Amino acid sequence: MGIGWPQILIIVVLLVLLFGRGKISGLMGDVAQGIKSFKKGIAEDDDEPEDEAPKNLEKKSDTVVSEEKTEKSDSAS
């Protein structure tokens, strides 16, 4: 037994009576703004190319290799 439509309708009516239309509409506006900003944040993450991560790793590995060569040449001298 779940919550049916009549129970949901009673809950909505009670909320409107307790808080009034003004506060509920303001709350729904805030929720909508939060959802929009969340979607915008997700879209911004999708715009970033995924190829950047391997390039950064390659750069780091090149640096490590060059540092190892420098250390070997310093120890050989």
pLDDT at position 2, please?
85
Within a domain: residue 10? no
DSSP state, 50?
A: T
Residues above pLDDT 70, as percent of the chain? 60
* Mean pLDDT over the full length of the chain: 76
- Total number of domains in the chain: 1
Within a domain: residue 40? yes
DSSP state, 2?
A: -
Within a domain: residue 28? yes
Distances (CA, A) of 45 to 1, 13, 41, 50, 51: 42, 40, 6, 10, 13
pLDDT tens track for 24-42 = 889 889 999 999 999 999 8
Q: What is the pTM of this model?
A: 0.42
Within a domain: residue 9? no
